[in-house]
Amino acid sequence: MRNRALTAVLVAVAIIGGTIASAAPASAQPPDAPSDPSPADENVVYRHPVDGPVVDGYRPPAKPWLPGNRGLEYATFPGEAVVAAADGLVIFAGSVAGTLHVTILHDDGLRTSYSFLASVDVAENSRLLAGAVVGRAARRVHFGVRDPSGAYMDPGGIIGRQPILRAQLAPHDDEAVASAAREARRLEERSNLSRLVGAASSAGTWVSDRVAEGVDVSLEAGRLMVERYIWTVAKPVIAIQAWADLGMALTSAVISPPECTPESIRPAPPDGQRVAVLVPGLNTTADGGPIVDLDMDALGFASTDVIRFSYDGGRVRDSHNTDGLWSDPLPATLNRPEATHRSVADSADLLADLLDDIRRLRPGATIEVYGFSIGGMVAVAAVGQMSTWDVPAVVRIVTIASPHRGLAPARTIDRIGSVPGIAGLTGWLGIPAGSPIIEDLASGTQAALPDNVPMLSIGSMADPLVPAVRTAFDGAETVTLGSGGRFGHDGLVGDEDTSREISLFLAGRAPSCRSLLHRVGAAVVPRLIQGAHEMVSIAGPVDGLVDTVVSG
């Protein structure tokens, strides 16, 4: 009777403390009968269970029965390996309420759970090393941490460091006690995981609930993106740098607004001879694409002084062209959409030849190059060849929605395009997989801006394809336009705000004055869009998945 009472007391203490060591030392136990974690090893350092970004951070509910997030939720690819965050003992591996979970008890008394898996690769009572695969991901993986009392903790507080150790129970030599404690602990674990599943189910209608409530889902997504910056661990240095950049941008926007030009000032176009060269973007046909929406009349150009560059070389013949114009000697070609898929360097060589021809035909005229999207990258690279001209010309550059700093998803989406039945960049940007332009889109503009060439780069706050932060270029003046959902990618070109900013630039004036709300939005929103781009730019998991699909 006395032994039974002692056993019951020890089982209860084991459940509360969360750990009981086995009777036999680890070295004496067979592989199929591992012990509980040993309190002798106090050097526990935790890592993230997957390489994917965190898309929902720790949000403890106000009340235990209310929805929230009791851990970190990661974006993962189906089949991605989920690994143990630290050395420990598997105390649960199986199904709860139709979902798969693994729980590991660690040497410091903490428990980590890996929930909503597609498959489980470990068995209960097996001892794991940090980094061992515990299962495979479905679409998202939930990672939770609890202290020995069973209370949930913020996983971000222990990742990458050794947490404060809890008191541990001494080993006991009664195997019946250890066995009973393991079974009781397993039942408790199932109960805890069941509550987690219930909480996740109540939050599973996240988007639909907010749509029904009339909440702007993009704002909610933005909040999650901010949390993604906080909890990114696959690229911790990048995350820190992202926060530093955002902090500096907000400080500048709020405390030190830049010099600006009041709306009442409307500068006149520059005097003298001027020729405009329009450089279109991807997949542009002979009709010109968005670049022709730029208000050249407002910028002071006669229609005969506006030349459209053809990616097939030379210019595109405009409908107003007639014999006797100064531009007649310029070669005219069709500008096929597929010609825009060649590398920036190759297109820049063709544009440089056109600019040189214009310089010879219009000596003394200022050449203003207006590039849209990749056209801006081509413009900078072409003007960089001015040093080879025997007689220099006065040149200005304006780029609109041009990814000078590269597009993070370009290589990833191109890689996905090799999977049968998936269009990759063909569907995203209309570029066939493997096109030379893809590498340039990923890396950004590589050419340097000549010292004597002024440049304006315009981006859109709401551009989903080229975040405004990617339009910045060293040595250029950068302006971010748009607010309240205005301006996507193509729509930026034809807006009157764009024409005004160009007019100010040509007159040597500062950009337009903007409200505090606009300045803060221009600092935050493009970085949120960039964060979304980075979420689909996890090269390692993508490559592994693609290789599996293609080879399989």
The answer to whether the pTM exceeds 0.75 is no
Is pLDDT of 543 > 80? no
Is pLDDT of 302 > 90? yes
H or E segment at 516?
helix 516-535
Task: Report CA 499 to chain centroid distance, whole Å.
Answer: 30
> Measured between alpha carbons, how far is 493 from 320 in angstroms, rounded to an integer?
22
Q: Which fold would CATH assign to domain 2-209?
A: Glucose Permease (Domain IIA) (2.70.70)
Amino acid occupying residue 154: D
At 151 the pLDDT is 81
More confident call, 531 vs 414: 531
What average pLDDT does the segment 49-54 reach?
A: 83
DSSP E strand stretches across 87-132: 88-96, 99-106, 111-120, 127-128
With cut-offs at 50, 70 and 90, classify the pLDDT of residue 250.
low
> Measured between alpha carbons, how far is 256 from 52 in angstroms, rounded to an integer?
36
H or E segment at 466?
none
> Measured between alpha carbons, how far is 9 from 7 in angstroms, rounded to an integer?
5
Is pLDDT of 23 > 70? no
With cut-offs at 50, 70 and 90, classify the pLDDT of residue 149.
confident
Residues 149, 18 contacting (CB under 8 angstroms): yes
Structure tokens belonging to residue 360? 């010879």
With cut-offs at 50, 70 and 90, classify the pLDDT of residue 484.
very low
pLDDT over 70 percentage in the chain: 64
At 136 the pLDDT is 93
Tell me the angle at which helices 516-535 and 236-254 cross, rounded to the nearest 10 degrees.
170
**Strand, helix or coil at 3?**
helix
What average pLDDT does the segment 429-434 reach?
A: 71
At 537 the pLDDT is 58
More confident call, 112 vs 96: 112
Least confident of 49-53, 195-199, 228-232, 360-364: 228-232
At 188 the pLDDT is 66
Is pLDDT of 462 > 50? yes
What average pLDDT does the segment 147-175 reach?
A: 64
At 533 the pLDDT is 75
> Measured between alpha carbons, how far is 346 from 311 in angstroms, rounded to an integer?
9
Residues 160, 47 contacting (CB under 8 angstroms): yes
DSSP string, 193-257: HHHHHHHHHHHTTHHHHHHHTT--HHHHHHHHHHHHHHH--SSHHHHHHHHHHHHHHHHHHHTSP
* In the chain, domain spans: 2-209, 274-406+444-508
Cβ atoms < 10 Å from Cβ of 5: 9
With cut-offs at 50, 70 and 90, classify the pLDDT of residue 409.
confident
User: Average pLDDT over the chain, rounded to whole?
Assistant: 74
Cβ atoms < 10 Å from Cβ of 464: 11
Tell me the angle at which helices 175-203 and 2-17 cross, rounded to the nearest 10 degrees.
40
274-406+444-508 has CATH 3.40.50.1820 classification: yes
Of 33-37, 246-250, 330-334, which one has max mean pLDDT?
Answer: 330-334
With cut-offs at 50, 70 and 90, classify the pLDDT of residue 159.
confident
Tell me the angle at which helices 217-231 and 516-535 cross, rounded to the nearest 10 degrees.
70
pLDDT over 90 percentage in the chain: 36
